[in-house]
Amino acid sequence: MILQAMDFHEFQDCKALLDMLEDVEYVCKYKYDLEIKFEEMLKWFIKTKLGISTRPIPAYSGDKRKINLLELYLVVKREGGHKNVTSNNLWAVVAKDMGYDYNDGELMRIIYAKYLDVLVYYYKFKSTQQKVCEKETVKGNESVSRSRSYSDNQDSVAGRRERTMSDGCIPEEKGDHYALFAGNDWHGMKKMQKRRQFDFKQVEKVVDEANRSVLMHSRKYNQV
């Protein structure tokens, strides 16, 4: 079994076990094995990770009864977590659900604070951190995808322009209205077609001739 082969050398190993506890059916099926691994995990976390050597594992009550730390973790989790249990004065209920008397509620609160509170904090922090990383990865992939799509689109446009140029035509850019002459450079390609400038002198000559013609006919009309 994967569970039996688990070792604890970093907090990610602890997180893997805590993730397993999210599956209620799995917990019910392998509760005995999980209790053993849960205590192994706590020994590593408290003694190695936190450097605390004054908290014996397993934990015991005043009458030498062993406190099932996995069960305590699961019961408090079911009731909404440490903050919710404390705010609603549910520690007596937690104690009763674990087979103790109602007046053992304070003991359950102290044991949870000593053995499990920091562990749960680390777990929530790492879980949130992982979700953020996953979101950033998704965003990064989407950004790369959009960038590739834009690049492919630009390549497609460039390909169409190149084919148009090879056919002897020069496409016009939107907003660019100016005369192009042979020899000018447009996006790195030589022009293959001439465009004529507007001949203002020729227009002026035509207008002058039209004016003279009007004056001439006007004089003839006045003489008559």
CA 216 to the chain's CA centroid: 83
Q: Over pLDDT 90: what percentage of the chain?
A: 50
Q: Is the pLDDT of residue 149 over 50?
A: yes
Q: What six digits make up the tokens of 15?
A: 């997180």
Mean pLDDT of 94-122: 95
**pLDDT number for residue 135:** 73
Q: What six digits make up the tokens of 56?
A: 């014996």
Helix 11-20 and helix 31-43, axial crossing angle in degrees, nearest 10: 160
Q: What six digits make up the tokens of 122?
A: 């680390």
